[in-house]
Chain A
Amino acid sequence: MSLLKIAVVDDHQLFREGMISLLERSDDLEVVGDSSSVNELFELLAKTKVDIVLMDVSMPGGDGLEAIEKAREEFPKVKFIVLTMHAEGQYVVKAVRNGAFGYLIKNADEAELLEAIKQVSLGKKYFNKEISHLMIGNMAIEGESHKKLSERELEVLQLVSDGKTTKEVAELLFVSTRTVETHRVNMMKKLNVQNTAELIKKAAHLQLI
């Protein structure tokens, strides 16, 4: 079994060096390169075969997460593990969306790091409990709609068609009555109708409610 070819991308040289020395202690791994920026990584990927990239997020000259998405298209075989100081769900979710196989906080233990690399090299994804928790918490909030009306507008529309007054809708959605009015006006514009009755009729017709 050949050695796993690892690349480390981080703008801090000291960290890179520390990481490389840590990795090289493992018999299964081979650090084939390290980059201090996204651009250097692409140069490296272009000339060297790399199995797994340990990727930082915030770097001068380019966002690591964006780079993953781009690299996935150009080098689909390369797998990315995000190694970052960011411990916020949003980064995790974005990393996953962009195609990262793993997400680790920089103060992860050596054992966990190696375990993650191992899992990813086998084609599995690696997110520990803490990261999974962050991810799920944010997935719930996220969710893009490609419908004609936004989620919020649909909510308002549903409540209005249920016969709720503006004040009641505002109460339920904890927004101001003005906000509800603005939603209503925006929906009428979007569906090209003149009043609320027409709005509900058309929404029903379009099966939005």
Chain B
Amino acid sequence: MIRMNKIGNKLALIMICLALVVTTFLASLFYYQFDQALRERVFLQLSSVKQLKLVKIKAEVTDRIALFNSIKTNHSPGEKATGFFEFAVDTIQPNTIGAYQVPNFVKWSDETFIIDFTNQHPSGEITLGFARHEGGLYFLAIAYVPDIQAILLERTGLGESGESYLVGDDYQLKSRSRFDFAYGHGTTVKTKGVLRALSGQTGEDSFLDYRGIHVFSSYEKMEINGLTWVMLSEINHDEAMGPILRLRKNLLVIVATIIAFILIVSYYLSNMIVSPIISMEKKLIRMSEGAQEDVFPDENREDEIGHMFIALNKLIQALGDTIKFADEIGSGNFTAQFTPLGPSDRLGSSLIEMKEKLQQYKEKELTHQKENQRSILSGEEKERSRLAKELHDGLGPLLTTLRLDVQSTSIDVKLKNQFLKKLDHTIQEVRNMSNNLMPSVLKDFGVGEAVANMVKEMNDSSAITIRYRHDVPVKVDLDDHIQISIYRIIQEALNNSLKHSNATEIKLSLTYFEDHLDLFISDNGQGFDIAELGNGNGIRNMKERVNLSSGTINIFSNAKGTTIEIEIPV
């Protein structure tokens, strides 16, 4: 079924209609003109043939009249006259001559009167009678005029179906039909041409002839000395119009060919126009379903469709960029850059805004998270600090007071010394506990000194050698939490190294700069696989601490040892 909502079909229909109108108009005009010309030509030809024959026939008849007129009175009655098969001279008006009855409308005068005896001839040959009254004598002669029939039968200029014939004023056919000798004398011919000619009109027309066949005809009345004949030259309509019929056939073929051609051309053309539109439509539909389409292959078209492709490619490109950007945002890459496609790119600017919002949100979230962790850690450290202080400044003095009391008591010296020894041990233990929780030196002398004490402690209590350097001034104004952080990081690192590395030496340095602290820890141990253990508890704690202090940490490890470089901003 042909769907009229298709551009291709519409285009084809328009083209066919246009072609039909134009070809029909042209063909009709051409046909009409040709028809007119042909008719004119046929009539002209018929008319000239008729005229020629008319002249010949008139000449023939006039010749006979002259011959008849040359027969004078000296001609004896009963004597045959040359050219006439009956001849009579009489003093009385004859009523018959031979087998022929003389009609009474004959005007007898010295002017020869011609009588048409064709109807009395037994086989209908053209037979003319000549009558003259001269010098008291009645001259009467009858002659066949076969020449007239011959003239009529001459077919020059009349084609296959051309015919010239004579009709009398009695509407009887005088000459023989070319086509069928059944038509001849006795055939009544009351055609339009005959009627018009008898009424004195000369002209051309087309009508049905005596045979009932449609003919073109040229007709004229011929009057010679009382003889009234109508001369008709005719040609069959079909033959005359043969060229135009052939033309009509050709025209129909041409029109059909043109339409077929246009059908093909319009199909091809509409395909050319429509197929890219259809492929674009498909792409657009898929794009509207959210698919990311490939760009169109580079079609070198300079027309509007080519421009449309370029525009569509731009759209696809732009959408692709936007999708890529959205993807980047979706996967959390907030460093992705995007330039809005234009001042009216609302999607693009919304995405950028979203990115910024998300970025802010993420930063806020991170800050918040850091803040939380920091506050948890600082709460923990505060608690440790408080406990350490309680032990050191609360329990410590109580124990020393107790020691004083014990010292003051007058008990057995041996027992007293025993008590004192146990007390000293307890006091030392409390001091150790306090120190382990949070060394007071850290708060009073800074991280550099606190680490120095820790290192001394470790050097004393283990086989490892820790070489330590630091240049953190005692009076430096460093935040407690940074100092504690660094202390804990170093504690963690040293403990890791002591526990796991089998190192014999650790180099540790803490370098103070105005804006940051550099921490360097390097052991000569067996190292570890960062990928595998890089997130173990110890390392993770260190990393977290560094992160919370907004610092950076680099860990290098191989079979020859581990080096940790940390930078903390202060």
Contacts and interface: CB of A to CB of B under 8 A. Distances in A.
Interface of A: 10-12, 14-15, 17-19, 21-22, 25, 58, 63, 85-91, 94, 106-107, 109-110, 137-138, 141-142, 144, 150-152, 170, 173-176, 178-179, 182-183, 186
Given A175-B518, A179-B511, A15 B452 contact: no
B106 interface: no
Contacts of B567: 178
Given A106-B427, A174-B469, 11 more contacts: A15-B397, A18-B401, A18-B405, A88-B440, A106-B396, A107-B423, A137-B456, A150-B471, A173-B469, A173-B509, A174-B508
Contacts of B218: none
Interface in B525-570: 563, 565, 567
Interface stretch (B111-119, B194-202, B441-449): B441-449
Given A152-B471, A174-B508, A107 B565 contact: no
Nearest to B516: A182
Contact of A91 (B424, B444, B473): B444
Contacts of B513: 182, 186
Given A15-B397, A174-B507, A186-B513, A90 B407 contact: no
B214 to A, nearest CB: 121
B445 A109 contact: no
A90 B470 CA distance: 14
Interface residue SS majority, chain B: helix
Nearest to A156: B511
Contacts of B439: 88
A19 B408 contact: no
B467 A174 contact: yes
Contacts of A174: 467, 469, 507-509, 520, 522
Contacts of A144: 473
B431 interface: yes
B253 interface: no
B281 interface: no
B133 interface: no
Contact of B407 (A22, A150, A152, A170): A22
A48 B467 CA distance: 50
Nearest to A63: B444
Contact of B431 (A11, A85, A183): A85
B397 A106 contact: yes
A87 B457 CA distance: 13
Contact of B401 (A12, A25, A58, A183): A12
A86 B401 CA distance: 15
B453 interface: yes
Interface string B400-440: 11011101100000000000100110010001000000011
Which of A15, A86, A176 has the most CB atoms of chain B within a 10 A radius of its CB? Answer: A176
A152 B431 contact: no
Nearest to B522: A174
A179 B518 contact: yes
A58 B440 contact: yes
Interface in B439-487: 439-441, 444-445, 449, 452-453, 456, 467, 469-471, 473-474
- Name the residue among B397, B423, B456 with the largest chain A CB count within 10 angstroms: B397
11 contacts: A14-B398, A85-B431, A90-B441, A106-B400, A107-B399, A110-B408, A141-B449, A150-B471, A152-B511, A174-B522, A175-B518
B321 to A, nearest CB: 40
A19 B404 contact: yes
Contacts of B397: 10, 12, 14-15, 85, 106
Would you list the 9 A-B pairs with minimal beta carbon distance, nearest first? A174-B507, A18-B404, A106-B400, A12-B397, A179-B518, A176-B565, A90-B445, A85-B396, A15-B401
A90 B444 contact: yes
A165 B131 CA distance: 163
B393 interface: yes
Contacts of A87: 431
Interface of B: 389, 392-393, 396-401, 403-405, 407-408, 420, 423-424, 427, 431, 439-441, 444-445, 449, 452-453, 456, 467, 469-471, 473-474, 507-509, 511, 513, 518, 520, 522, 563, 565, 567
A170 B423 CA distance: 47
Nearest to A83: B400
Contacts of B565: 176, 178
Contact of A175 (B393, B452, B473, B520): B520
B469 A182 contact: no
B148 to A, nearest CB: 142
A53 B518 CA distance: 42
A179 B520 contact: yes
A202 B397 CA distance: 56
Contacts of B441: 88, 90-91
A186 to B, nearest CB: 7
Contacts of A173: 469, 509
B522 A88 contact: no
Contacts of A178: 518, 565, 567
A89 B563 CA distance: 30
A1 B287 CA distance: 110
Contacts of B431: 85, 87
A15 B511 contact: no
Contacts of B389: 58
A114 to B, nearest CB: 11
A195 B441 CA distance: 40
A19 B401 CA distance: 8
Contacts of A137: 456
A108 to B, nearest CB: 9
Contacts of A90: 441, 444-445, 449, 453, 474
A132 B471 CA distance: 23
B165 to A, nearest CB: 134
Given A88-B453, A90-B445, A182 B398 contact: no
A58 B522 contact: no
Contacts of B522: 174
Given A173-B509, A176-B518, A85 B392 contact: yes
A22 B469 CA distance: 43
A158 to B, nearest CB: 15
Nearest to A16: B401
A22 B404 contact: yes
B392 A58 contact: yes
Contacts of A176: 518, 520, 563, 565
Contact of A21 (B393, B408, B440, B511): B408
B424 A141 contact: no
B404 A85 contact: no
Contacts of A175: 469, 509, 511, 518, 520
A94 B567 CA distance: 29
B393 A85 contact: yes
Nearest to A58: B393
Contacts of A182: 511, 513, 518
A12 B394 CA distance: 8
